[in-house]
Amino acid sequence: MDGQRPYVEIYEEKKALGHGAHGTVVLAMNRETKHLVAVKKMNLGDMGDEKERKMCHNEVMLLRSLRLSCPNIINYVESFEEEGTFYIVTEYCEDGTLADHIKERRDQGSHFKDTEVFSIFMQLLIGLDHLHGKKIVHRDLKTQNIFLTKRSKCTQVNPQAMVGNSFLVKLGDFGVSRAMGTQTCALKTVVGTPYYMSPELVQGTPYNSKSDVWALGCVLYELITLKKAFPGDNLAQVVMAIATGKYEPLPQGSLPELKQLVQGILVCDPGRYAPFFPRQVQVCCPAVPVRFAGSLC
Ligand SMILES: Nc1ncnc2c1ncn2[C@@H]1O[C@H](COP(=O)(O)OP(=O)(O)O)[C@@H](O)[C@H]1O
Ligand SMILES: [Mg+2]
């Protein structure tokens, strides 16, 4: 699509990075520049109908429109459609996903420091605000779709986005994202257990930017506690927990600002985000984009 030469001529595949809903993601190296990239490979033959095929084009269209526009959003490189396979090439994030980091911390029994929690949260907020400012809803915000790279690799980007932390955090996987104004249907397929689904979504209300903010609240809760905000052994239990909106209180020692943030976001009635959320975030970090107020009203 973007590339003039075939994918295999340009890239040499190194190893598998992960498996997603529609294919595999591999680490590859540009044969000329030696730059490492991540390539999402989707077999169009397996994808059944034309509608699903359009998802690949949609993801590329959104990634292209976001290219180089925000350091907290994964950067698109190019894409190819060749012999029934769709390749989406993006920057490689060598420190993996936030899900990996949370798991590692849980295994070690060591929580993130408050400064780390704030840094990761703020970077996600900047990325999400940028997305919403461009009238795009992510619709699958979760720790597996949040990527990390070392700060030292990113000296060319906006230093504000790094707020005293060693990682640059990026939103990725726009596979089910939508430009607002296009169909706002509910997610067709939910992969795994829907820990990050908002109460509106579990009640069947169409997706909007508030649902992304809810998911961000769930990620924040998980960063603080290393536990899911709405856990459950099966889909029914998780859905029930979300519908009631009740979550285990944060530990006694948690920073009041973090408690307020979580309380402000994980509110069952979405109408209540608007007056609370932007103000609280601004109290915690005055540099937060004010535009969030708009996307929450
Ligand atoms: N840019 C990247 N850098 C490092 N690992 C990645 C990258 N993109 C994807 N991965 C790995 O592949 C997995 C699936 O990628 P993702 O883009 O989320 O696709 P899917 O739509 O299939 O979920 C991720 O959870 C992660 O483990
Ligand atoms: Mg994913």
pLDDT tens digit sequence for 40-83: 999 887 655 676 678 889 999 999 999 988 999 999 999 999 88
Going by their DSSP bridges, the two strands 36-43 and 167-171 should be labelled as unpaired
Known catalytic residue at 140: yes
Write down the mean pLDDT value for the chain. 83
pLDDT of residue 62: 94
Average the pLDDT over each of 45-54, 126-135, 142-151, 152-161 and give the range with the smallest value. Answer: 152-161
pLDDT of residue 290: 46
Considering 43-52, 85-94, 268-277, the range whose residues carry the highest mean pLDDT is: 85-94
90 lines ligand 1 (CB under 6 A): yes
Q: Is the pLDDT of residue 273 over 70?
A: no
- Give the max Cα distance, the chain: 58
pLDDT of residue 192: 56
Average the pLDDT over each of 47-51, 142-146, 185-189, 261-265 and give the range with the smallest value. Answer: 185-189
Average the pLDDT over each of 29-38, 124-133, 274-283 and give the range with the smallest value. Answer: 274-283
Annotation-wise, does 40 bind a ligand? Answer: no
Question: Which position has the higher pLDDT, 178 or 242?
Answer: 242
**What is the pLDDT confidence band of residue 186, given thresholds at 50, 70 and 90?**
very low
pLDDT of residue 169: 96
**What is the pLDDT confidence band of residue 148, given thresholds at 50, 70 and 90?**
very high
**What is the pLDDT confidence band of residue 263, given thresholds at 50, 70 and 90?**
confident
Mutate to test the pocket of ligand 1, among 11, 19, 25 (most ligand atoms within 8 A of CB): 25
- Percentage of the chain modeled with pLDDT above 90: 50
Give the mean pLDDT of 116-144. 91
- Residues, beta carbon < 5 Å, ion ligand 2: 20, 145, 173
20 lines ligand 1 (CB under 6 A): yes
**Predicted TM-score (pTM) of this structure:** 0.87
Q: What are the DSSP calls for the chain, one per residue?
A: ---SS-HHHHEEEEEEEEE-SSEEEEEEEETTT--EEEEEEEEGGGG-SHHHHHHHHHHHHHHHHHTTS-TTBPPEEEEEEETTEEEEEEE--TT-BHHHHHHHHHHHT-PPPHHHHHHHHHHHHHHHHHHHHTTEE-S--SGGGEEEEEGGGGTTS-GGGGTT-SEEEEE---TT-EEBTB--PPPS---S--TT--HHHHTTPPP-HHHHHHHHHHHHHHHHHSS-SS--SSHHHHHHHHHHT--PPPPTTS-HHHHHHHHHHS-SSGGGHHHHHHHHHHHH-TTS-TTHHHHH-
Q: Where do the domains of the chain lie, and which CATH numbers do they carry?
A: 7-91 (3.30.200.20), 98-284 (1.10.510.10)
175 lines ligand 1 (CB under 6 A): yes
Question: Angle, to 10 degrees, between the axis of helix 209-225 and the axis of helix 256-265?
Answer: 150
* d(CA 284, ligand 1 centre) in Å: 31
- For residue 24, give the ligand nearest its CA: 1
Contact 293, 271 (CB under 8 A): no
